[in-house]
Amino acid sequence: MNETPPPPSQPLRLPAELTIYTVGELHPQWLSWLARNDPAAAVAGDAVDQVDAAGLQLLLALQRALADRGRSLALHDPSSALREACQALGLQAWLAEHSAQEAA
């Protein structure tokens, strides 16, 4: 996996695999990104092709950590796998609330 956090003001790109097998490695990377990002935190979700409850839990934890700092999560282009996982776990409203609206 060995992904490095993006530089400041860059969106956090979710990996292809957002599962119980990757959350332990992703958590410290995301904390580092969180510490250096702008108030409106852009997260790109288009690359996710595998996601489970542990992966969604980490994403929810990121959103809560941002909210605790008075910041908001803006999820751009959630993949179909990410949308389907949110639907399966009853998180459609959460996804709609935190999905960034793209300019037409």
Which CATH number fits the domain that encloses residue 19? 3.30.750.24
Q: Show contacts of 95-102: CB within 8 Å, 24+ apart.
A: 98/63, 98/72, 98/73, 98/74, 99/74, 99/75, 100/42, 100/74, 100/75, 100/76, 102/76, 102/77
Residue range 42-47: average pLDDT? 92
* Within-domain flag for 5: no
Residue 83, pLDDT score = 96
* Within-domain flag for 6: no
User: Which tops the pLDDT comparison, 70 or 49?
Assistant: 49
* Within-domain flag for 16: yes
* Within-domain flag for 48: yes
* Within-domain flag for 7: no
Task: Quickly count: other Cβ atoms within 10 Å of residue 12's Cβ.
Answer: 20
Residue 41, pLDDT score = 77
* Within-domain flag for 88: yes
Residue 51, pLDDT score = 97
* Within-domain flag for 1: no
Residue 53, pLDDT score = 96
Which range of residues forms the domain containing residue 60?
12-98
Residue range 75-84: average pLDDT? 95
Q: How many domains does the chain have?
A: 1
Reply yes or no on whether the pLDDT at 98 is more than 50.
yes
